[in-house]
Every structure is written in C-alpha cells, then in structure tokens.
Amino acid sequence: MCYSSRQLAESSPYYELIKSQNKEVLFLYEPADEVVFLSLGQFQMKSLVGVEKWAESAASTDTEKADTKQFRDINKKELLDWIKTTLGSVKVYDISGNHRPSEHPVMLTIKHEMGAARHLLRTGEIKDMEHLVFLQPCLHVNLSHPLIRSLYNMKRTDPKTAELLVSQIYDNALITSGLLKDTSGMVNRLNKLLTQLAASDKSTILTP
C-alpha cells in the first residue's frame, strides 16, 4: 500500500481491515514505487496484491452477523438506497452494508487496482469526477458507525443537511483512497455543512 507516511497508511480503512489477518504488508511512500510494484506481479516468489484490492475481496465476502436487536432501528435497504440515490450511480456504482468494528463510516473500493487509478489521476487530464465512470466505485457502509446511525435519522429530520453530510462522507473516502484530485468543492461544502450545523437549534455544537 502506498501512502505519504506510515501513520497515514495505518489509519486507513484498508489497513484496518487487513491488520487482523496474518498477511505481510509492504509500505510504499513514493508514487513511482507503487507503479513499479504494480508491474511486477510477484516479489521474492510471492504474489503482490494491493491492500485496497484485497479489501474489496474481503468486504464482498463479509459474513459477520449483526445483533438484530441493536440495529433493528435501522432499515438497511432504505438507508443504502437513499445513499446511492443521493450520491448518484457514477459515484456509487454498487453499495453494501456491514457491521464490522471500524473507526471509518465508509470504505471505497473499485473494480481495478487502486494504484493504477491514482497514477491515472496524477498523469491524466481528468475533469471533475469523470474517472469514476471507469472505476465503478463500490461504497461499503459501516451501519454500526455513530455517524451513519445519525445520518439515518437526519435524512428524515433534516434532509438538506443529510445530503451535504453524505456527500462529505463520500469525499472523505475518496481522499483516503487517493482518488480525489480537486478538493475545492469539498471545502466549500464542508463550510456550508458546518454553517448549517452551527445554526441549527438541534446542533450538538451549540448544546451546553
């Protein structure tokens, strides 16, 4: 996995998923190294697989069971359908829900090697989110995360703020995966989101 520092790598949802497994992880810190390893395929007679690609496979075969009593207040299909509709089919080609213990509300995987996608973003003339059409992102939603549980309630009580929030959560996932090239739109949205939360009588920011 390639990140600018080991600290960032170890705080990613991809490393979080693999750290409990008995697998070796190679940390790369230079984009050029990531491109080289993508072309190798093997190293010292061992197959090389991007952690993000491994995470896609692991997430798709997730068999963990949730406590139905604890999560019965969340309609999984209703929430996932709303997220996909709100974000659109380009940003969310596919979506799934899980209850894995995680510090991250969502994790993003794609149909191709994440390293190759990052290289495309660095070297290609990409406008807005057009690369997502080719990447076919899958959004893995952690239904037990406090932020997602709050989002489920907010989409009913404050739908406009909920739409801003889910868009921000998605862009956070893009940043974590290294797939967001232009952050200007995200910053503007974040400022608007914070303004709405601060102005709301129900905002926890203003609760004494």
Task: Report, at the CATH architecture level, how domain 6-65+83-199 is classified.
Answer: Up-down Bundle (1.20)
Distance CA 7, CA 22 (A): 20
Inter-CA distances, 73 with 68, 78, 129, 200, Å: 9, 11, 34, 24
Domain ranges of the chain: 6-65+83-199
| Residue 61, pLDDT score | 63
pLDDT (average), residues 164-183: 90
Predicted TM-score (pTM) of the model is 0.83
| Residue 105, pLDDT score | 95
Q: How confident is the model at residue 145 (pLDDT cuts 50, 70, 90)?
A: very high
Distance CA 32, CA 186 (A): 27
| Residue 63, pLDDT score | 45
pLDDT (average), residues 79-102: 92
Distance CA 114, CA 102 (A): 21
Q: How confident is the model at residue 207 (pLDDT cuts 50, 70, 90)?
A: very low
| Residue 96, pLDDT score | 92
Distance CA 38, CA 140 (A): 24
